[in-house]
Structure 1
Amino acid sequence: MDYLPLFFNLRQQPVLLIGGGEVGLRKARLLIKAGAQVELVALSVHPDLKTLIQEQQGQIHYAEYADTYLEGKKLVIAATDDQPLNERVYQACQARGIPVNVVDQPALCSFIFPAIVDRSPLVIAISSAGKAPVLARLLRAKLESWIPTRYSDLGQLAGRFREAVKARFGSINQRRYFWEKVFSGPIAERVFNGQMPEAERLLQAELEAAEGSSAGVGEVYLVGAGPGDPELLTFKALRLMQQADVVLYDRLVSAEVLELCRRDAELIYVGKKRDHHHLPQPDINQLLVEKARAGHRVLRLKGGDPFVFGRGGEELEELKAAGVPFQVVPGITSANACSAYAGIPLTHRHYAQSVKLITGQLKNRTSELNFAEMRAPNQTLVFYMGLHTLELIVAGLREAGKPASTLIALISKGSTPEQKVLVGTLETIVAQQAEAQIEAPALIIVGEVVSLHHQLAWFNNPAPTIAVQGPLSQAAPKLHSTSA
């Protein structure tokens, strides 16, 4: 994060604007809209800017800039094309500890102006840290169309009832639940339809009927976080991530996905990796029950899909026995995401008509895999958590009759910018991995569909680099092209 987003309260605060052209006019409009007392210094002033300042009882100095104009100012904006003057203003403000913005010169700014979506009291600020202001404005345009102007009325309504709700409910969680019900139910719909008196009446009735004495039992959301790319989350997953008070997350949840959880939620790491469990599974189960019984909405965030080698079933059994309500949101499992991002379809009419999802790490950490079922042709085998048992898996497949020439791919950190793919055969892959040291988490795909990697990964590569080694690495991609 290049800048920390902050909102200044400039109401009735003195602000200095240097420069009287059209750029200064745009900045003055924003400042005055925020309630600032604008003082302008310029040798000449745009007629519209002059009128604006005069209407707001501001001051205009038709003079050269001098550092004395900085006295008592809370904020300074330099909107001139005079580079020496801009640098002088910046240095003078820095010496006095006054926030300063030199328009279109990020190096001379202690703060920058974002693109703004104004639904006061709801205000959304969008910044590109000065690197791509046009992109920020395009995003603002999208938000302007997505967020109805009536959100301003909804915010004003909430402001009028804020103290009454605070007095009614003793805990933060109770107040949060109440407001979320208001903002997502019939009261908000009345506001959006312009029926403000009816919305206010309903809100008053809801407040009077509410019981604020007990938090009651909360709820658990068992949510699949997918393989790492935050854009692969479902809409429902994102909504519940924003609602949860407590988040229990595992090792495979990416930092980018975790960042989308509610900022003030309690984050509890319960990750596991081979031979090291930060919190044993029974303790995780019990913690879910305890947090829910305390009245919290608990998000159990799991990498991939919670029901595909994620032990989600065990957790739900515990919740069911304890009488705790829950919701389950599937996630995109690693087999789907990693294969797609690596350009390896799990099924293909010419290569594979079935798929097996197999765990490479069983409960007792010994191999109980039925390799005889895996020797059939025309199927794709996908091994989860099998990197540390790669040699055992390869040996088992070969002993069961799989040809040594069978293609195999290791996909490390699939769907993320760190994705790497190692391609080989059952005969070569162990030696290749010993040299390449592909890192966990990794997925293993076995089958003839791996031969499509070089053709399809060129079109679907999310990472800046993919490391590919093995018998396919010298093959030229066979691509079909079309022309308009």
Structure 2
Amino acid sequence: MDYLPVFLDLKNKYVLVVGAGEVAFNKIKLLLCAKAVVNIVAKDICSEIRSLLFEKKVSWISNEFQISYLKNIFLVIAATSNTKLNEKIFKKCNKLKILINVVDDQSKCSFIFPSIIDRSPLIVALSSSGTAPVLLRLLRKKIESILPMRLGDVARIAGKWRSIVKNHFSNFLERKYFWEKLFNSIFVQYVLNGKEKKAISILKKIIKEPSKLIGEIILVGAGPGNSDLLTLRALQVMQEADVVLYDNLVSQEILNLVRRDAKCIYVGKRAGLKSITQDKIIKLLIFLAKQGKKVVRLKGGDSFIFGRGGEELEAAKNANINFQVVPGITAGIGLSAYSGIPLTHRDYAQGVIFITGCKCINNTSNNWSVLCDSSYTLVVYMGSLNALEISEKLILHGRLKSTPIAIISNGTTINQKVIIGRLDEIDKIFKLSASPSLLIIGQVVLLHKKLAWFKKLTNLNNIETTS
């Protein structure tokens, strides 16, 4: 370990900054956030620092550096282009045992500034010991994305209650167990949503009933397949889960982002194959949540678009279990975008209708007079199940046989395949496609060849396809 990571308390401590350019300004901003008393030595002062001087947030003491200015100084930053001056300051600070950072000269630093993720009072600091700043920025971006902006409020509230909890639980292990339960409960989500009163009520409840865990169910849309299309909130929740129940359409790439010690249970359903029933999935969700676990129900696309999410949450509500919903990019939107097919367009479609190829349990019939309106794009989920019937009904009620259609399989992934054809060719085209797939019907399909960006067009047996 080249550097010992420490957090310095700079409140009301004197810090000397030699130089007053843009680089110095960036360091001064951090020092002021830490409530340091900043003195500046510089001949030329940039406009940003002049503003700080005008606001009396910093003090300017001289044009030229003098060794006497180091008296009572806790920390020094040298941000000048004068290498001889920087070296002089470095040597003198080392002799006086004063912390010194010469900007952009690692060899003349007794400390370095880390990359900071600020969720005050929660602070995360990262460093590559000055070896790989670009890699550091990439890591910071990834960590930043999974830490909610209001996470600091969780720490703030916990800090206020720390002494009360300590008095209530005299044993260290009991306190540890309490905090682990609290931070793994819905308490955190209430704080993040700005519902502090509800959060405090959960905290009080766990204090009174320390042995009782409070579980919850979180419905998460995993998007259309590509892990890059996960929402930040989905990623955060997946990192907090105790158990994940996932569907057939959730890729291994996405599952790899789940917290490593979480239990993943496959509950996928596939048309024509033997699989777990919806009733059993709901019973399992409730059983796990009643054990006090944070249960993530991970579904492809969006849970509220033909994902039966509403049924699962109704059951959770009836069982008096806390729940929340994280929306995902539904297949209709994700696959059309990655295929260069805009679902609406001034010249082709004034609206879009989502339907499913599955028949309703009560055999409710589609309103074909509405669906056959050529001014609407029709997106059919699980379209292969009744493709021929859908085609025949649409043509019977007025859609032209020549209406363009697109069948998209493995959408948004490197295996994406788009087959373009006509409505009266639907049965033949589906035989060429992989399952599961999405069907798009309407004039907007004509834009595919022009706007396709994710894959290059090829031609296979006179059928336009991207593969």
Q: TM-score category by the smaller chain?
A: 0.5 to 0.7
1:223-234 matched pairs, under 5 angstroms: 223-234=220-231
Distance 1:372 1:301 in 2: 36
Change (3 A) 1:369 1:209: closer
Q: Aligned residue pairs: how many? A: 339
Distance 2:144 2:292 in 1: 37
CA displacement at 1:232 relative to structure 2: 2.2
1:49-74, Cα deviation, whole Å (9 max, x unpaired): xxxxxxxxxxxxxxxxxxxxxxxxxx
Q: How does 1:12-161 map to 2 (within 5 A)?
A: 30=1, 136-140=135-139
Pairing 1:167–2:173 present? yes
Structure 1: tracts of 5 or more residues without a match: 1-29, 35-115, 127-132, 189-205, 475-484
Deviation (angstroms), 1:404: 1.5
Q: What is the CA distance between 1:327 and its match in structure 2?
A: 0.9
**1:318-333 map, 5 Å:** 318-333=315-330
Task: Note closer, same or farther for the CA distance 1:145–1:283 as it changes in structure 2 (3 Å cut).
Answer: closer
Maintained 8 Å contact 1:360/1:385: yes
CA distance in 2, matches of 1:264, 1:144: 19
The one-letter code matched in structure 1 to 2:382 is: M
1:284 aligns with 2:281: yes
Mapped to 1, the partners of 2:386 and 2:326 lie a distance apart of: 30
Per the alignment, residue 195 of structure 2 pairs with none
Indicate conservation of the 8 Å contact 1:223/1:306, yes or no. yes
SS at match of 1:213: coil
Matched letter for residue 379 of structure 2 = V
Report the counterpart of residue 452 of structure 1 in structure 2.
447
CA apart distance, 1:235: 2.6
TM-score of the superposition, structure 2-length normalised? 0.60
| Aligned counterpart, 2:404 | 407
Match of 2:62 in 1: none
Q: What does the per-residue CA deviation read over 1:183-223, in whole Å, with 9 as the maximum and x for residues that have no partner?
A: 969999xxxxxxxxxxxxxxxxx899935632343111111
How far, CA to CA, are the matches of 2:362 and 2:268 in structure 1?
Answer: 18
Q: Is the 8 A contact 2:115 2:136 kept in 1?
A: no
2:180 corresponds to which residue?
176
In 1, the alpha carbon distance for the partners of 2:388 and 2:186 equals: 57
- Shift in alpha-carbon separation, 1:446–1:118, aligned structure 2, 3 A: closer
C-alpha distance 407-165 of structure 1, shift in aligned 2 (>3 A) = farther
Match for residue 298 of structure 1 among 295, 299, 306:
295
**Is contact 2:419–2:463 with CA below 8 Å preserved after alignment?**
no
Question: Equivalent of 1:354, from 351, 354, 361?
Answer: 351
Where does 1:163-242 land on structure 2 (aligned, <5 Å)? 167-168=173-174, 175-179=179-183, 210-211=207-208, 213-242=210-239
Residues 1:238 and 1:352: Cα distance change in structure 2 (over 3 Å): same
Distance 1:308 1:182 in 2: 25
- Asked whether 1:420 is paired with 2:417, we answer yes
1:329 positional shift: 1.9
1:430 aligns with 2:427: yes
On the 8 A contact 1:451/1:472 being kept in 2, the answer is no
- TM-score normalized by the length of structure 1: 0.58
Q: After alignment, is 369-378 or 136-145 more displaced?
A: 136-145
Q: How far off its partner does 1:398 sit?
A: 2.2
2:381 corresponds to: 384
- Aligned 1:303-318 pairs, distance under 5 A: 303-318=300-315
- State how far apart, in whole Å, the 1-side matches of 2:279 and 2:186 are: 37
Once the two structures are superposed, residues 345-392 of structure 1 have per-residue CA deviations (whole angstroms, 9 ceiling, x without a partner) of: 111111111211110012459894443332212110100011243223
Which residue type is aligned with residue 177 of structure 1? K
In the alignment, is the contact (CA less than 8 A) between 1:168 and 1:212 conserved in 2?
A: no
2:206–2:212 Cα contact (<8 Å) kept? no
- Partner amino acid, structure 1, of 2:315: E
CA distance in 1, matches of 2:186, 2:290: 24
Question: Hey, what's the Cα distance between the residues in 2 that align with 1:222 and 1:313?
Answer: 10
Match of 2:265 among 264, 268, 284: 268
Secondary structure in 2 matching 1:393: helix
**What corresponds to 1:395 in structure 2?**
392
Residue identity opposite 1:264 in structure 2: D
2:182–2:206 contact (8 Å) kept in structure 1? no
Whole-angstrom CA distance in 1 between matches of 2:378 and 2:393: 13
Unpaired stretches in structure 2, ≥5 consecutive residues:
6-113, 118-122, 160-164, 193-202
**Does structure 2 conserve the Cα–Cα contact (< 8 Å) formed by 1:422 and 1:468?**
no
Amino acid at match of 1:168: E
Deviation string, structure 1 residues 253-309 (Cα, Å, up to 9, x no partner): 122222222221111111000123532101111111111111111111111111111
Separation (CA, whole Å) in 1 of partners of 2:458 and 2:282:
39
CA distance in 2, matches of 1:357, 1:125: 48
Which residue is equivalent to 1:108? Answer: none
Structure 2 letter corresponding to 1:440: S
Identity among equivalent positions (%) equals 39
1:224–1:304 contact (8 Å) kept in structure 2? yes
Task: Indicate if the aligned counterparts of 1:247 and 1:268 stay in contact, CA closer than 8 A.
Answer: yes
Cα distance change on mapping 1:468 and 1:281 into 2, 3 Å: farther
- Structure 2: how far apart are the matches of 1:455 and 1:215? 59
2-structure distance, mates of 1:385, 1:401: 23
Partner residue, 2:336:
339
Distance in 2 between the 1:258 and 1:243 partners?
13
Structural RMSD (CA): 4.7
**One-letter code of the match for 1:261?**
V
Counterpart CA distance in 2 for 1:314 and 1:412 is: 27
Any conservation in 2 of the 1:117–1:143 contact (CA below 8 Å)? no
Equivalent residue number for residue 251 of structure 1: 248
Equivalence for 1:69: none
Q: Which amino acid aligns with 2:438?
A: L
- 2:282 maps to a residue whose letter is N
Compute the displacement of 1:394 (Å).
Answer: 2.1
What displacement does 1:240 show?
1.9
Corresponding position of 1:199: none
Do the aligned residues in 2 keep the contact of 1:223 with 1:300 (CA within 8 Å)?
yes
Q: How far is the alpha carbon of 1:143 from its aligned partner?
A: 7.1
CA distance in 2, matches of 1:185, 1:320: 17
Asked if structure 2 preserves the Cα contact closer than 8 Å seen for 1:117 and 1:144, the reply is no
